[in-house]
Structure 1
Amino acid sequence: MNKTSYICNIFYYSMISGKFAITIHILTLLTKFPNDYLSSEFIAGSINLNPVLVRKEIANLKAHHIVESKEGKNGGTKLSKAASNITLKEVFEMTLDTINLGYAKNQPNPDCPVGKKINQNLAELYAEMNEKVSLQLSGITLEDFSNQF
């Protein structure tokens, strides 16, 4: 397995909530219609998701100054900055912050050679995974990603 596949697999398993995928979908749609305000209903139709959930993600994007919204009959949301100036690392950090696949729910046995160090070693593994994912995503802009469609 090559590095990209490895990172993608890690990424896939860390996307349990789907927030990253939903946010990237929203941003990619907005990139394809740069001069239009898209309604949450339109966006939700593309994602096949409830518009309320789309609006929650849009609120997060607004808080990070990635999109702007306009209310009313011709209202909706559009990008507030160029897609070429938004990296997927930024999107990752505003949706997931870090990859953490979890720790044991019970307290491992401190007398066991594995149990006494498992959480420390997992924390180090997760930190390394986050560094690699951040590095990979920092080199991909929203525009780069959107050009695939």
Structure 2
Amino acid sequence: MHISNKCSVAIHCLIFLSEYGERERVTSELLSHSTGCNPVTIRNILSALKKDKIITVKPGTGGAALALPPDEISLHRVCLAVEPEAIDKMIGIHVSPSPFCPVGRNIGNVLGKTYDTLKADLVASMKSITLKQILADYHEALAEER
């Protein structure tokens, strides 16, 4: 289980936008260099964040900026914006258990309640983590680097 790379790239972009978005024009090319991802991947992520009204993107010459204060952007919202099935991909039941095996026939029912609890706990935790907290961790890492 892991959080999708799209989510971590999206958070990377949001940190970058928070740090530099008001001073300079942040484009997909610039974010591509910072993240090490293809510019098309960055544009797709920015498009998803824009669609969810997390960021704004200027038409034409480009340039993205945060549309919300960092304390209003949760990790959950970001992950759902860039990968709507992120939670189900993290916690899911294999799709082809044998119907001829008693365990295989019942594994979905057996794990269903447990996994529903895990998903609810994960969503609650992700909703409680904001970009503001992530930025604080980033600034702490910068301070330790010095």
Q: Structure 1, residues 1-58: CA drift from partner, whole Å, max 9, x if none?
A: xxxxxxxxxxxx233x411111111111112124143111111111101010000000
Letter in structure 1 aligned against 2:52: H
Identity among equivalent pairs (%): 25
In the alignment, structure 1 residue 69 sits paired with structure 2 residue 53: no
Higher helix content, 1 or 2: 2
Out of 98, 103, 124, the position equivalent to 1:108 is 98
How many residues are matched? 134
Deviations for 1:68-127, whole angstroms, at most 9, x for unmatched residues?
111344x31111111111111211332244233443343423551x22210223333332
Structural RMSD (CA) = 2.0
1:147 paired with 2:136, answer: yes
CA–CA distance in structure 1, aligned partners of residues 55 and 131 of structure 2: 13
Structure 1, unaligned runs of 5 or more: 1-12
Corresponding residue for 1:49? 37
Q: Is the 8 A contact 1:68 1:80 kept in 2?
A: yes
**Residues 1:28 and 2:18 are matched in the alignment:** no
CA contact (8 A) 2:32 2:42 kept: yes
CA contact (8 A) 1:20 1:96 kept: no
Q: Separation in 2 of the partners of 1:119 and 1:21?
A: 30
Instruction: Give the structure 2 partner of residue 83 of structure 1.
Output: 70
Q: Is the 8 A contact 2:92 2:115 kept in 1?
A: no
SS at match of 2:94: coil
If the length of structure 1 is used for normalisation, what is the TM-score?
0.78
* Distance in 1 separating the partners of 2:55 and 2:107: 41
TM-score between both structures, scaled by the size of structure 2 = 0.79
Distance in 2, matches of 1:131 and 1:102, equals 13
| Alpha carbons of structure 1 residues 20 and 102: separation in structure 2 relative to 1, 3 Å | same
SS of the residue aligned with 1:78? strand
Note closer, same or farther for the CA distance 1:82–1:37 as it changes in structure 2 (3 Å cut).
Answer: farther
